[in-house]
Amino acid sequence: MPTVLIVDDDAALREGLAETLADLGHRTEQAEGGTAALARLARGGIDAVLLDLRMPGMDGMEVLRRLRARGDAPPVAVLTAVPTAANTIEAMRLGAVDHLAKPVGRDDLAALLARMFPAAAAAPPPPAPANAEDIIGGSAELREVQKAIGMLADSDATVLLTGETGTGKEVVARAIHRHGRRAQRPFVAVNCAAIPGELLESQLFGHVRGAFTGAIADRPGSFREADGGTLFLDEIGDMDLGLQAKLLRVLQERVVTPLGGRPVPVDVRILAATHRDLERAVREGRFREDLYWRLGVVPLALPPLRERLADIVPLAEHFLALAAAGGMPKRLSSAAAARLLAHAWPGNVRELRNAMERVAVLARRPVIGGEDLDFLHAPAAAAPDWLDGDLPTAIARLEAAMIRRALTAAQGNRAEAARRLGIHRQLLYEKLKRYAVE
């Protein structure tokens, strides 16, 4: 029978978790803070840890850091009442099995423990004022992205970020860099679609004076500018085939040759992004297959905003705060929030940010009304109006849409779809029948 250490300064919460864990067949021990937890773990015999973050004295993040340094620590899951992008990413980077928001239900707790025993013990799964680089939102889809950032941050693996235009690929790339061990070194971003092909080679690899007409001085190039840090190649799918071959060679050998110069070794972590379907481009001969596999060591797909309804209003409020430039930001009325949720957002997060900057300037009242967003004209095939009809009808419409999306993501596997939705398989079957979902 595995023993789980519950670390939390809230005695009532510890007792509640202990009772549930006992019902699930686990022994429990308790610690009221980080120092007591480390002392108990030093004696051995603990198979897993449920760890609070906010505690007096040593907080949960410091406990995680010390456990990671030991190398033989049991699997740890973080439970926090205040989940943020920063603490989610940092916890996953430090090796947490998962990062869950309190309160945690019995079914969620059982699923967590199933992941922690026994496989997780051998190999944990992969991890103020408004800041323009913050990752805002708490949707399940975005939290998975945050966890992935935490797991990728300290790695040197090449990451290929995919998703529609405006989904925030550069924001994610900067977060991977900012939270990793290269954070104190340069982050250099190059938009491969914005620079003409004949100039992009010089931009990336550099040149020496006199290498071509107009080369009046040496230029190091983006690879050398990013040495020791991260080079972000945005819109990589728009690079021409000739330059793709040269880029592949640099990625393989980690050596750049400036135009007219000699080879120079570089230590650079590569993050790439595209809104294009690169697999299709490979089939059509517009993108090198070998470069595709070299770039896509770790693929990370960013969901469109229309699939992240829970993030729309928090993002809108964040952009209003940014637009306020330190002053009092405008607020959203319930009617304005409803308008935002009803819009299809074909331009994704970028479109939402532009919309909030616009109303921040043009709306004269401190509270933004629905009429202030009349410029958001939804296309004919826009997302359904979730607010039409009575409450049971709206809930049924949302449930059916979520079930269809989960089934699509799970490629028709109903057990996997139920897992994604956080419900039992039998309940999924009942809802499939009720809503006539095929």
- List the domain boundaries for the chain: 3-122, 141-301, 314-373, 391-435
| pLDDT tens digits, 57-83 | 999 999 999 988 887 789 999 999 888
Residue 127: the pLDDT is: 32
Residue 121: the pLDDT is: 35
| Rounded Cα–Cα distance for residues 110 and 123 (Å) | 19
CATH code of domain 391-435: 1.10.10
CATH code of domain 3-122: 3.40.50.2300
| pLDDT tens digits, 383-433 | 455 556 666 677 777 788 888 888 877 777 888 888 888 888 888 888 888
The edge-to-edge listing of strands for the beta sheet with 48-52 is 27-31, 3-7, 48-52, 76-80, 98-101
| pLDDT tens digits, 137-162 | 888 889 999 999 999 999 999 999 99
| pLDDT tens digits, 410-422 | 777 888 888 888 8
Residue 226: the pLDDT is: 95
Domain 141-301 listed as CATH 3.40.50.2300 = no
The pLDDT of residue 20 is above 70: yes
Range 195-211 average pLDDT: 84
The pLDDT of residue 348 is above 90: yes
Residue 390: the pLDDT is: 65
Task: pLDDT band for 438, please (50, 70, 90 cuts).
Answer: low
Question: Do the domains spanning 3-122 and 314-373 agree at the CATH topology level?
Answer: no
Neighbouring residues of 243: CB distance < 8 A, sequence distance ≥ 6 = 197, 200, 201, 204
Residue 388: the pLDDT is: 62
What class is the 314-373 domain? mainly alpha
